[in-house]
Structure 1
Amino acid sequence: MRPLIPLSALTLALALCGGAHAQTAPEAAPQTAAAQDAAALPPQDPNAAPTAAEQDFDALYGSQEYNPVADPTLPPGVESTAVYDPWEKYNRRMHKFNNGVDRAVAKPLAKAYVKAVPRPMRLGVSNFFNNLGQPVSALNALLQGKPKQAAQSLGRFLLNSTLGIGGIFDPADDAKIPNKSEDFGQTLGVWGWKRSRYLELPLFGPRTVRDTFGLIGDAPLSPIRQIENDKIRIFTQGLQLVDVRAQLLPLDSLRDGATDEYALFRDGWSQRRNYQIFGDSRREKDQDRDLPDYLREEEDNPSVPADAMPIMPTDPNFDIN
């Protein structure tokens, strides 16, 4: 009777193994089928045409490699290059100084000017200074090889200086004569000085080395700087600075909400400046129709003009009081 016990145990063990195999067999079957399907797939051809799904992905996210310099939010035809700012440490200190002067002097004066002077009168002041800059703009347009634009600037100057009563009114705008501003910094850019170090000047704000030379080149041609009476010249220069700052008041909200105010000013100014210099080729190709307004408008973002560069009083008895 004893041999029956091992035989019974062996039978029970075989039964348990068979049940376990029956339970695991269905789980192994899908793995075998998946392996067979993968082996049955044809090899991928790197030169094959993209599938519909791949085309949809490229349409949404682009098929080119990531470029950390390019701005994907800009429309086609607008180049966004990193600002060349090797003097950033100095520029940030100068930006802080300029901001202090602006908040303590320029901004309060501009706000008081806007509050005290009616808008039609302020518009007349802006027109007057804009008209004074037309001869310099015409000369630079001619130097850049734009005779048509030079003629338009001279036409604006003559029409506004006569029918516009010294430029206070702008009949040239009613005559549909374009108002485009050109300076010697832009001329140097057109001549080939395309990339230049970013530089923040005391009181004059954002510039580049190229535009600093441009500022020096335009200054002797400024009509305001030809005024011999020191008091009248200084008053006119001061009024022009207040007028420029008043036009920039709407942009203060952007500055107040900026995480890095210096980077905002530097990048925004550089992008607009590049468009001012190289934008004509884009306009000829009709590539600026989708550009932001702040890039296309010629007058909404003025900068401190060359007219404001101080000169020594010519009168030895000059007293500002």
Structure 2
Amino acid sequence: MNALQKLVLIAIVLASTACASHSGKHQVALPVPETSSVANAMSPDPEAADGDPADLDAEAADEHDGVRDPWEGFNRKIHGFNNAADTLVLRPLAVGYNTITPAPVQAGVSRFFANLRIPATAVNQALQGRPGHAAQSIGRLVVNTTVGIGGLFDPASSFGMVRRHDEDLGQTLAIWGWRGSRFLVVPLLGPRTLRDAVAIAGDEPLSPIGQIQDNGTSNGLLLLQTVVGRAQMLPLDKFRRDAFDDYLLVREAWVQRRIHQIRQGVDDE
């Protein structure tokens, strides 16, 4: 494990420890457990249910998908720190990358990093009980790494190997039953849940970047991957600037996206 990866994992541990010490001081106004407001708006009203067992099961699943935020006070502080780091370092790098890099090159770089996520996706597809999808993902990895020149191109799709949704250990743990985890903003990494922060330790060994022995190369790839991801989020900056409460906007958007990803893992047959 290289120095940057150690720093990230240490940050997670420190964040979790600090959260535990603040959990009694910073409680949200809504009762716990509580689903996010957006999830509540999308979910059926239990009081209006007609008694159909299937409807009741769906409502129960929605309730378990909700993310609690009893550490809001601490999370807001880390959110502010992350915003400052983004303003000073990450966003300027992303804007520069977006400005000087031609669109075809950006597409190739994005495909390259998507290819690097396939090992973790395949393992988690297998853990979720979808060995056929896992085998197909491995096939895509082999074809795109070889014929596609390290993943810069995507010949696997032309060969009929459909790309499935990315999977990670956090999604797997949710499907296994760890639902409704506490919301946690991790230094430098941003929004997570406690479940997803813990799951990083399981996904990290599956990353090809983590297996590179040369620290300069691995750190450079990690930085480029982060910048590419930030560049893809640049169109959302205007909405965040105009938001009444940026923390709530980011939390609700992230929670809904995460719920959608977990449900895709169940429905992606």
Interval of TM-score (by shorter of Structure 1 and Structure 2): 0.7 to 0.9
Structure 1 partner of 2:40 = 70
* CA shift in 2, pair 1:134/1:84, >3 Å: same
Distance 2:204 2:42 in 1: 38
Distance 2:183 2:176 in 1: 19
Q: CA RMSD in A?
A: 2.2
Identity %: 47
State the 1:283 CA deviation.
5.8
Distance 1:96 1:224 in 2: 29
Contact (CA 8 Å) 1:136, 1:222: kept in 2 or not?
A: yes
TM-score normalised by length of structure 2: 0.75
Distance 2:66 2:173 in 1: 20
Structure 2 stretches lacking a partner, 5+ long: 1-36, 45-54
1:2-24 deviation line (CA, Å, top 9, x unaligned): xxxxxxxxxxxxxxxxxxxxxxx
Distance 2:133 2:108 in 1: 24
Distance 1:153 1:254 in 2: 35
Contact (CA 8 Å) 1:83, 1:267: kept in 2 or not?
A: no
Superposition pairs of residues 145-294 of structure 1, within 5 angstroms: 145-176=129-160, 177-282=162-267
Task: Establish whether residue 130 from structure 1 lines up as the match of residue 114 from structure 2.
Answer: yes
Contact (CA 8 Å) 1:153, 1:179: kept in 2 or not?
A: yes
> Quick check: 219-228 or 89-98, which moved more?
219-228
Paired residue secondary structure (1:157) = helix
Structure 1 partner of 2:94 = 110
Larger radius of gyration: 1
Distance 1:175 1:257 in 2: 44
1:178-216 deviation line (CA, Å, top 9, x unaligned): 232011111111111011000000000000010011111
* Greater RCO structure (CA 8 Å; 6+ sep): 2
Letter of the structure 1 residue corresponding to residue 40 of structure 2: A
Contact (CA 8 Å) 1:106, 1:245: kept in 2 or not?
A: yes
Larger helix percent: 2
Distance 1:82 1:222 in 2: 29
State the 1:271 CA deviation.
1.1
Letter of the structure 2 residue corresponding to residue 188 of structure 1: L
Distance 2:43 2:198 in 1: 32
Paired residue secondary structure (2:192) = strand
